[in-house]
Amino acid sequence: MSDATLAEICAVACAEAWRGSGEVLASPIGTIPTIGARLAALTFEPDLAYGDGDASQLAAPIPVGAPPDAEKVVEAWIPFGNFFDIVWSGRRHVMMGATQIDRYGNQNIACIGPWAQPKAQLLGVRGAPGNTVNHPTSYWIPVHNARVFVESVDCASGVGYDRAAKAGPTMQQYHHIHHVVSNKGVFDFETPDHAMRIRSLHPGVTVEEVQELTGFPLVVPADVPTTRRPSDEELRIIREVLDPKGLRSAEVPE
């Protein structure tokens, strides 16, 4: 579709991260990942479970930015304790943010600068360690630049492939960094040493451009696909059902 915006292309790229997931709990963090997860559930991944951002599992999507008292079709209730049972069972796929991410998928949301005396305090490691060693984890990064895609993270909140390998088989058993989606493309770690690879680039983005914005050498396949554009039906769902207020445009700079 020629009239698809970059935000809508990114939403579809996020949706594709859940393709083939089957009956797992999608935990998207952020506007674009939330649109993506709900779009996947409404189209090619109907068994995907998703919530309202709180403790309710929904049987029908609500628009992003809906007020707390919005009408919901609730399918199940997931109390806090039961949520960790899902995490530890591996039946979850989260898409988180990353203040920094390196070539092996180590993610930082804790601090910038040395741990003992950081330049900036961020969120803390939060649930990143448990997420990355228990179930598939993907990342959404709305602004692709060399301050985010770094040679080495200042603090490893989420565990990457090199650290998982050093920790041994127990750490590696359920460790899987699936996709990284940015405003420039989609990346994965399907390489012999699990170094970050270009999976696709969004329309109009070149390999040279994305490499210049990345603080380490990316693995470049012989044929670099272009990220697919939304179908007519996907655009209708995004614009009329999932995000009628257009909140997606605020998260992705054109």
Query: CATH 3.30.750.24: does it fit domain 6-251?
Result: no
Q: Examine the pLDDT at 254 and tell me if it is beyond 80.
A: no
Q: What 3 state SS string does 184-226 have?
A: CEEEECCCCCCCCEEEEECCCCCHHHHHHCCCCCCECCCCCCE
Q: Examine the pLDDT at 204 and tell me if it is beyond 90.
A: yes
Q: Examine the pLDDT at 2 and tell me if it is beyond 80.
A: no
Q: Examine the pLDDT at 125 and tell me if it is beyond 90.
A: yes
The Cα–Cα gap between 129 and 131 comes to: 5
DSSP string across 67-100:
-TT----EEEE--HHHHHHHHHHT-EEEEE--SE
pLDDT in tens, 129-151: 999 999 999 999 999 999 999 99
Q: Examine the pLDDT at 1 and tell me if it is beyond 80.
A: no
Alpha-carbon distance values, 252 to 7, 54, 182 (Å): 5, 25, 9
pTM: 0.94
pLDDT value for 228:
97
Across the chain, what does the average pLDDT equal?
94
Instruction: Report the percent of the chain where pLDDT is more than 70.
Output: 99
pLDDT in tens, 35-64: 999 999 999 999 999 988 888 889 998 999
Q: Examine the pLDDT at 85 and tell me if it is beyond 90.
A: no
Alpha-carbon distance values, 184 to 6, 53, 177, 198, 206 (Å): 9, 27, 19, 10, 9
Length of the chain: 254
